Amino acid sequence: MVGIALVAPAILVILIALVLPFIDAIRASTLNRVTGEFVGLEHYLWLFTDGPFWGSLRRSLLWTVGNLVLQGAAGIGVALLLQWHFRGRDAIRTVILLPFVVPSAVTAITWRWLLNTTYGPLNSWLVDFGVIAGSFNPLNDPLTALGGVVLINTWRWTPLVALVVFAVLQTIPREEYEAARMEGAGYLREFWHVTYPHLSNSLAVLGLLGFLLTFNIFDLVWLLTAGGPVDATNTLAVLIYDVAFAMRNIGRGTAISVVLFVLLFAFVIGYFQQEEFKEGGQFE
Amino acid sequence: MNWRRRRQLGQLLRFSLLGVVLIVFIFPFYWMLRTSILPTQMIYESTALIPQGFTLEHYGRVIDQGFLTPVRNSLITAVGTTILTTVVSLFAAFSILRYRYPGRRRAAQLVLLTYMFPHVALIIPMYMLAASLGLLESPITLIVVHTMLALPFCVWILQSFLMDIPRELEEAALVEGASEVGAFLRITVPQAKPGIIAAGTFAYIMSWGEYMFAYVLLTDSDAFTVPVALESLLSGYVIEWGILAAASVLATLPVLALFWLMAKYLGEGIAKGTGVV
Amino acid sequence: MAKITLENLRKEYGSLTAVDGIDLTIADGSYTMILGPSGCGKSTTLRMLAGLEQPTDGDVYIDDARVTDVPPGDRNLSMVFQSLALWDHKTVRENIGFGLKMEGVAEAERNAAIDEIASLLQISEKLEQSPAALSGGQQQRVALGRSLVREPDVILLDEPLSSLDAKLQLEMRATLSKIHKEIGTTFVHVTHDQEDAMSIADEIILMNDGEVVQHGAPMELFDAPTEEFVADFIGTPGMNLLDGTVSDGAVDLGGVALTPAAETIAEHPGSAVRVGVRPNRIYPADAAPDTANTLAAEVTLVETFGDSRWYYLDVGIGEELVMKSADTAVFGTLAEGDAVSVCIGSEDIHLFDATSGRALSAA
């Protein structure tokens, strides 16, 4: 039928670019990297007992949750600032997207330059104004590195979150605000009783998608810190790359990937069972 | 009037905060721009806001070093990805919404599955697959991979835009004698234009900035895309920030071209997808 | 111009039967309206006629040719949708001319036909605009124009007047009527509004629960309803319907008796019945003194509609009767609280079986 023909190309692309390689990866996770002989679950064992899995998992969770919370708060905040019309709002709405549209490589370069202890403006100004004692690059300090990349990633994605929230805000009937105002509600009450209820549905969906997407982010972290210093930013995604590529241990790397996939898959299933999902049309 | 003063203060606060937000988002790029036109000496000496000097030598050197090649490569890949993704996701979204056939749900779920995937897990198998097919340096491999990466998002967006198009518009065309294909091309597609633009710009921007697969799949420096080329500039022993800045600016320009389109359509597209708009 | 035959047409959605095997013939050149409450199957029937839904069983014939398997575009009919389904990314001209374009008609000819229709419908100045820029009434006429320009055999309309305001609705009814008289094509119009049907239709097909209840001229349904459902649905306001029992050649309404025409109750002694009287068939006693049924009533409420009035009467049986009149000379001074004697002609009393709803009449 026509329907099947139309959906076929998409399925084909996914099969070729995702399913096939993944099956291959699963196969590779059971082999010894050097000899190619079958070693069963040896890599998995290493992963859970000897390996850096747990540390990376912890970092991935911190990374994801941190990002979601910050992006959510900042995104909603910016959207609220844009909510009521003013001259030039459309222009500003366009311009703030800048951090998001720019390639992550450029973002990494830009921030590394900004935070540069010797030549970067941030350090030099902060020191000049006496805010900090000496030059400091958060990306170079194991204690602050994870926080640093989280902040930079938040900076990158907040505009998109803001834009989406903004679109949702536009659908809230003005009359609801007017009714609240007649009943004497101030700004905060307006937010709690009118704005938030309308937002919460979208936020749930965005939260889920954001979780999955953020969890798997590799490029920005790698380009900023390469997993360092001293593993401080070695999230699972970075770990996989590190082990599989840099250390050339394909078996172990793919084993981590399989575990990661299973984890996320379980998470999504759990999420759907728990969440009474509105008919968003995706599974129709 | 207390009430009026409060409004004014509120407005003042609002615009101040907006100002701060704007600075936070734009300043880094301004700084890169400034660095790119500053003579090398001054880059390392001055942290003045307004550039005290002007030179285009960094741009010159970047181009001399062949930076336009990755730009061209990225352009080919991005355009290819955009076209492929837009067409494939439009067909898929339309199919899922308007037709019934066994396995339809599974297909929709498979598309969503792509989204939750740790793509980093695929780079090596993908490398080996491409190598075995001799497609390692061809843009085709990257286009297919990028399409896979963009599909779930684009299908999702298009689904929600298509849902808003009343079936009656297509039915009216059928009654007037159009074929199914005709109704799709003449009615559905024009009506879905905002969604198509949203999906297209997303695919373009995602493809332009994609680093991970590009890094692994393109080993010949002539085939490098922009992010890979940038990274290679970064990892030298001595980092020449002037050149890096110029390269960054050049890398961003092609994306800025679609910037306005994206802002207009993408936010709404995603909001629709969350089932609200 | 074509006649339409539906044979044993049935549509099921899973366990839900929307249309329950109906047989119908729609006369060539008639303005036929399919009327009924929400969910009665009228729209489904129309869509099966159009070819937009495939029947679960049964056949559709246009002029004796079986079209059940023919796609909608090849049945030579046109349709006006409830939402109008105008394409706002095309101009009005392109909207109207779309069907002609699909037929392959040359541009010059197309434009001539479009111009003619547009001037007939008075939308000529709007031809190059998008439908989105037009008023509701103008959009209606564009949709109508699109359906007329191809000169199809049958024109289908799916509740086209539902979303209009009252004034526009009246205008459009007149327009539709006029056009039908001029071009004589078969019109099949679905509506839930019985006023639409009573004012425009040559024939009404009243449906309920997937079945055809009565099929006939409007006044037939009005004056000779075959079922209580028809009596209640048709008319503004609907027929007064009360419970009663047949005894001694009259009908006992619980303290008050009415004597219908003798043939009507001849064969149903002792039956529980539903008694129906049209509101416009109740008169004050001094206006028509020579009828067999006179009741003492008190006016509890008067509703005024400009030139006609509805009087709610308490006749001592619990339920109220509604009397309707446009004749203020006769009723002019009647006000709430007044006592009045009213009479009902025996031939104006309808009886329906209390269980089945079917009309009781002379054998």
Question: In this structure, are B29 and B68 located in the same domain?
Answer: no
At residue C35, the 3 state secondary structure works out as strand
Interface test with B, best of A4, A6, A78 (most B CBs within 10 A): A6
Confidence of residue B78 (pLDDT cuts 50, 70, 90): very high
For chain C, the farthest-separated pair of C-alpha atoms sits apart, in whole angstroms, at: 77
Interface test with A, best of B8, B47, B98, B276 (most A CBs within 10 A): B276
Count: domains in chain B: 2
8 Å CB contact between B226 and B208: yes
Query: Hey, are the CB atoms on B168 and C85 less than 8 Å from each other?
Result: yes
Q: Does B70 touch chain A (CB under 8 A)?
A: no
Q: Does B156 touch chain A (CB under 8 A)?
A: yes
Query: Hey, are the CB atoms on C103 and B177 less than 8 Å from each other?
Result: yes
Nearest to A137 by CA among A230, A234, A224, A239: A224
Q: What is the pLDDT of residues A24-52, one digit of tens each?
A: 878 777 776 666 677 777 777 777 787 78
Q: What is the mean pLDDT of chain A?
A: 83
Nearest to C82 by CA among C158, C166, C185, C21: C158
**pTM, 2 dp:** 0.80
Q: What is the pLDDT of residues A205-255, one digit of tens each?
A: 788 888 888 998 988 998 888 877 888 888 888 888 888 777 777 777 778
Q: What is the pLDDT of residues A68-109, one digit of tens each?
A: 999 999 999 999 999 888 888 888 888 888 898 899 999 999
B252: pLDDT strictly greater than 60: yes
Q: How far apart are CA B74 and CA B255, in angstroms?
A: 11
For position C215, what pLDDT does the model report? 93
* Total Cβ atoms within 10 A of residue A37: 8
Residue B39 domain boundaries: 1-55
Query: Hey, are the CB atoms on B176 and C150 less than 8 Å from each other?
Result: yes
Sole residue written with tokens 């937002």: A199
Q: How far apart are CA A55 and CA C86, in angstroms?
A: 60
Q: Which two tokens stand for residue A178?
A: 């007017």
Q: How far apart are CA C48 and CA B35, in angstroms?
A: 70
For position C291, what pLDDT does the model report? 64
Any residues with CB less than 8 A from the CB of B219 and at least 6 apart, and which?
A: B136, B137
| DSSP, residue by residue, C192-246 | S-HHHHHHH-SEEEEEETTEEEEEE-HHHHHHS-SBHHHHHHSTTTTPEEEEEEE
8 Å CB contact between C1 and C153: yes
| HSE toward the beta carbon, residue C20, CA cutoff 13 A | 12
| DSSP, residue by residue, B211-277 | -HHHHHH--SGGG--HHHHHHHHHTSSS--HHHHHHHHHHHHHHHHHHHHHHHHHHHHHHHHHTT--
Q: Which of residues 182-211 of B touch A (CB under 8 A)?
A: 205, 208-211
- Give φ, ψ of A259 to 5 degrees: -60, -45
Q: CA-CA-CA-CA torsion for B168, B173, B176, B177, nearest 10 degrees?
A: -130
Using a CB-CB cut-off of 8 Å, the residues of chain B touching C103 are: 177
Question: Domain residues of chain A, as ranges?
Answer: 53-233
Average pLDDT estimate for B57-79: 88
Query: Hey, are the CB atoms on C98 and B168 less than 8 Å from each other?
Result: no
Helix (H) or strand (E) holding B87: helix B68-98
8 Å CB contact between C348 and C304: no
For position C202, what pLDDT does the model report? 93
Nearest to B77 by CA among B150, B139, B123, B148: B139
Question: Can you say whether the dihedral through the CA atoms of C49, C54, C59, C62 is positive or negative?
Answer: positive
For position A283, what pLDDT does the model report? 42
* Total Cβ atoms within 10 A of residue C166: 7
Question: In this structure, are B77 and B30 located in the same domain?
Answer: no
Q: Indicate the residue of A93, A109, A281 with minimum beta-carbon distance to B160.
A: A281
Question: In this structure, are B41 and B74 located in the same domain?
Answer: no
Q: Which two tokens stand for residue A115?
A: 């935070």
Sole residue written with tokens 């352009």: B75
Q: Is C184 left (phi over 0), alpha (psi -120 to 50) or beta?
A: left
* Total Cβ atoms within 10 A of residue C269: 11
A154: pLDDT strictly greater than 90: yes
For position C362, what pLDDT does the model report? 43
**Which portions of chain C are predicted below pLDDT 70?**
262-269, 287-292, 328-332, 361-363
Q: How far apart are CA B105 and CA A7, in angstroms?
A: 11
Q: Which two tokens stand for residue C255?
A: 């303290």
Any residues with CB less than 8 A from the CB of B135 and at least 6 apart, and which?
A: B141
Q: CA-CA-CA-CA torsion for A15, A18, A20, A22, nearest 10 degrees?
A: -150
8 Å CB contact between C1 and C29: yes
Question: In this structure, are B248 and B138 located in the same domain?
Answer: yes
Question: In this structure, are B71 and B97 located in the same domain?
Answer: yes
B121: pLDDT strictly greater than 80: no
Interface test with B, best of A60, A164, A208 (most B CBs within 10 A): A164
DSSP, res C129: S
In order of A135, B182, B215, C139, the CA distances from C83 in angstroms are: 67, 21, 53, 10
Q: How far apart are CA C286 and CA C331, in angstroms?
A: 11
Bridge partners of residue A229, in order along the sequence: none
Q: What is the mean pLDDT of chain C?
A: 86
Q: Which of residues 89-128 of B touch A (CB under 8 A)?
A: 89, 91-92, 94-101, 103-105, 107-112, 114-126, 128
Helix (H) or strand (E) holding B50: none
CATH for B181: 1.10.3720.10
Q: Which two tokens stand for residue A123?
A: 């350090």
For position A278, what pLDDT does the model report? 45
Average pLDDT estimate for B32-60: 83
pLDDT-above-70 percentage for chain B: 97
| DSSP, residue by residue, chain A | -HHHHHHHHHHHHHIIIIIHHHHHHHHHTTB-TTT--B-TTHHHHIIIIISSHHHHHHHHHHHHHHHHHHHHHHHHHHHHHHSS--TTHHHHHHHTTHHHHS-HHHHHHHHHHHH-TTT-HHHHHHHHTTSSSS---GGGSTTTHHHHHHHHHHHHHHHHHHHHHHHHHHTS-HHHHHHHHHTT--HHHHIIIIIHHHHHHHHHHHHHHHHHHHHT--HHHHHHHTT-STTTT--HHHHHHIIIIIS--HHHHHHHHHHHHHHHHHHHHHHHHHS-----STT-
Average pLDDT estimate for B141-156: 90
For position A33, what pLDDT does the model report? 64
From C149's Cα to the closest Cα of chain B, the distance in A is 11
Using a CB-CB cut-off of 8 Å, the residues of chain B touching A103 are: 208-209, 211, 226-227, 230, 251-252, 255
Q: Which of residues 92-111 of A touch B (CB under 8 A)?
A: 92-106, 108-111
In order of A122, B43, B53, B270, C15, the CA distances from B49 in angstroms are: 11, 12, 12, 37, 74
Q: Model ipTM?
A: 0.86
Q: How far apart are CA C274 and CA A16, in angstroms?
A: 72
Question: In this structure, are B41 and B170 located in the same domain?
Answer: no
Q: What is the pLDDT of residues B176-222, one digit of tens each?
A: 988 888 899 999 999 998 889 989 988 998 999 999 899 888 888 78
Question: In this structure, are B4 and B92 located in the same domain?
Answer: no
Q: Which domains does chain C have, with CATH numbers?
A: 4-226 (3.40.50.300), 233-360 (2.40.50.140)
Q: Which two tokens stand for residue A46?
A: 């290493």
Instruction: Output the CATH code of domain A53-233.
Output: 1.10.3720.10
Nearest to B146 by CA among B232, B86, B224: B86
Domain final residue, candidates B13, B34, B55: B55
Query: Hey, are the CB atoms on A110 and B17 less than 8 Å from each other?
Result: no
Interface test with A, best of B8, B35, B164, B270 (most A CBs within 10 A): B270
Q: How far apart are CA A268 and CA B109, in angstroms?
A: 12
